[in-house]
Each structure stands twice: as structure tokens, then as C-alpha cells.
Homo-oligomer: A and B are copies of this chain.
Amino acid sequence: MNYVLGIDGGGSKTLCILMDENREIRGRGYGGCSNYHLVGEQKAFLAMETALEKATENLNKIEIKALGIGLAGVSRPQDFQVIQNWVKELQSSEKLPIKWSLLSGNIVISHDALIALVGGAAKAIGILVNAGTGSIIFGRNKRGEVKRVGGWGHLLGDEGSAYTIAIRGMKAALKGFDGSGEKTLLSAYFQQHLSLASLEDLVKTIYQKEWGVSEIASLAPLIDQVAVAGDLAAQKILEQTVNELVEGTKIVKKTLFSESEIIEIVTSGSVWQSQYPIRARFQALLEQHSPQIRVIQPRHEPAYGAALLALQTFNPLA
């Protein structure tokens, strides 16, 4: 039996999946953050090694024939060089109860959007529409061509993300408060939710407590709640989110696919969990644009996608 490893290295955790050639998962293991831009090379490597160790523990010396790694924040040649060095180190690690038998063609290093697409679609073709704390729209066609829209981070353009929804919600609340925008329930909801004496104190809460991107993004469900309660300003924000995700998806589709192809659109991320019908609106607008589109939930997680990419190196995917 041939085995491969798939690794999803993110900012908060690292997941490693051990998969056999029949796509059966034979082991799973977690490690900490493996984004070395955030925690430094040593810690990041250790997180990855730990994930591998846990995914392969209690196994006899099985033979690993391929390795797929997807990492957030990996795009420059320098980044790939770092990861390639890690792969060498992993191959000589004494902590791992595995036997390596990798050719250079059996090592796939990619960014996090590709493994999320491949895991979500269970193949390396389609469009990923990720709308979580951040957002990105990423597609790949059967010729291997790729196209990306957005994903420029919270400051430069994560349209569709929970962060952007939260920021727009707070802006709308303050505009309702100072009279430069329409009156909105958001003002009262933010004041209450954050226990503010006055909405003006929102500024102090956000800046002086030095809220990070994920703390701010965590306020997005409040806008959802207010939209469902019938508030127009909140609904407008979520409709704008839907439109931005739809427009981005159309561009990726047009760049990579023909009119007649059936295309799967994988939706991933917390924004799709809203009470407000973001997903239904997204689907309706896209189907109206092109009846060949199928909006689907992710079939598998990104680490599974990384393992599929590894498998593909000696066993081309259908």
C-alpha cells in the first residue's frame, strides 16, 4: 500500500493527514502555528513536525511516497526555499516513525487556497470562494491555469470577509450616530453588545484595547443578527458582501472556464454560516448569471486537499 501525507499549515494550527492510495484517512495529527512569518522558523518547523508525529504515531514503519503541503503566507521564492529545507529536515527527523521514499516530483508545496479548493471539490478543478476572517476567490481549470481575485488582507481588500463586514457595521453604526448616515439598529446593538456608556466609546474599545483582525472579525455575527431583525443598513452591508463575492467569482470563472463547462463553486468560511441568506442570495445571483454553476459545501477539509495533491503526483486525479 502507498501512503502520502497532506499538511495544512495555518496561523493558528497545523493539521497533518495520513492518506492511503485509496483516499482513506489513516491518521490525523495537530501542531501549533506553522506560519514562520508569525512565530519564527524554529517554532513553525516544530509545529509541523509535531503534526506529522501525531498523524503517524502507533504505526509500523510505513513508507511515505508523496507529501503535499499548503501554507498560508507562502508565495515568494524565498518562502518555497524555506519549506523545501523543512522537507529535507523532516526526512532526517528521528521523531517520525516513518520511512521516506520521496522523489522531488512527489513533493507539492502550495498556498492555502489551492489545498482548500482541492479538498473542497475533491479534485483540482473549480472555484474556491473563501469568506472567513479574511477572504479570497481562487480557481483552477483542467489545464492547470489558476486565477485569484482578492485575498489582499484586511487593509487592502478582503471584500466579503467577516473583518470587512464588521468594519462596515461599525462605520454604519457611527454614521447613524453622528447623523452622516441613515439611522440604524446597529448603533444600539454595538453599544449594548460591547457594554458602552456611549457609542463614541466604540473608538476607545477598538483602538486602545488594540483589537486584532480576528477580534474585529468576531463582531460580524452582530451585523447578521441586526440584518435578520430587519435593519436596512445591516442588510445593505450583507448584500454588498454577496455582490462582491459574486463579482469576484464571475471574474475567475470568465478567466478560466468556458460558458458550457459545469463548474463547482466551493464556499468555505464563517461568513457562509450567517442567518441572513447570504449563501442563497449568492447562489441565486450566480445561477442567474450562468446555469452551469453548482454551489457546494466543501466535501473535505484543506489538509485532505493537500494529501490529494500528493497522491496526484503518482496517481493522477480523475
- Interface residues, chain A, CB within 8 Å of chain B? 37, 75-76, 147-150, 152-153, 155-157, 167, 170-171, 174-175, 178-180, 200-204, 206-208, 216, 247-248, 251, 255
* Distance A290 CA – B208 CA, assembled complex (angstroms): 39
The residues of B that contact A248 with a CB separation of less than 8 Å are 180
CA distance in complex: A170, B147 (Å)? 20
Cross-chain contact A178 with B150 (CB below 8 angstroms) = yes
Nearest-CB distance from A63 to chain B (Å)?
A: 38
- Chain B nearest CB, measured from A153 CB (Å): 6
Shortest A82–chain B CB gap in Å is 14
A206's partner among B156, B171, B208 (CB-CB below 8 A) is B156
Candidates B156, B178, B208; contact of A167 at CB < 8 Å: B156
Of the residues B171, B178, B207, contact of A148 by C-beta under 8 Å: B178
Known A155-B167, A203-B156, A208-B37: A179·B76 in contact at CB below 8 Å: no
**The 9 nearest A-B residue pairs measured at CB:** A149-B180, A157-B171, A149-B178, A152-B174, A179-B251, A156-B170, A180-B251, A157-B174, A180-B248
Q: A75 to chain B: which residues have CB within 8 Å?
A: 200
Q: Considering the complex, give the chain B residue whose CB is closest to the CB of A172.
A: B157
- A72 → chain B closest CB, angstroms: 12
- For residue A149, which residues in chain B have a CB less than 8 angstroms away from its CB? 178-180
| A180-B150 in contact (CB<8A) | yes
Which chain B residue shows the least CB distance to A167?
A: B155
CB distance from A178 to the nearest CB of B (A): 5
Kindly list chain B residues whose C-beta atoms are within 8 Å of the C-beta of A37: 208
Q: A247–B180 contact, CB under 8 A?
A: yes
With the chains together, A11 CA to B204 CA distance in Å?
A: 16
Instruction: Let me know if A156 and B180 touch, CB within 8 A.
Output: no
What residues of chain B lie closer than 8 Å to A180, measured between beta carbons? 149-150, 247-248, 251
Q: How far is the CA of A95 from the CA of B6 in the complex (A)?
A: 69
User: How distant is A58 from chain B, measured CB to nearest CB, in Å?
Assistant: 40
Complex formed: what's the CA distance from A148 to B175 in Å?
Answer: 11
- Across the interface, A175 reaches (CB within 8 A) one of B157, B200, B206, namely B157
How far is the CB of A273 from the nearest CB of chain B, in Å?
24
Complexed CA–CA distance, A5 and B79 (Å): 57
Q: Which residues of B contact A171 (CB under 8 A)?
A: 152, 156-157
Taking CB as reference atom, which chain B residue is nearest A254? B179
Contact across chains for A152 and B251 when beta carbons are under 8 A apart: no
* Chain B residues closer than 8 Å to A153, beta-carbon distance: 203, 206-207
Instruction: Report B-chain residues with C-beta under 8 Å of the C-beta of A203.
Output: 152-153, 156
Question: Which residues of chain B are within 8 angstroms of A255 by Cβ–Cβ distance?
Answer: 179
CB distance from A156 to the nearest CB of B (A): 5
A156 to B174, Cβ gap below 8 A?
yes
How far apart sit A234 and B14, CA to CA, in the bound complex (Å)? Answer: 41
Chain B residue contacts of A148, Cβ below 8 A: 178
Cβ–Cβ < 8 Å partners of A208 in chain B: 37
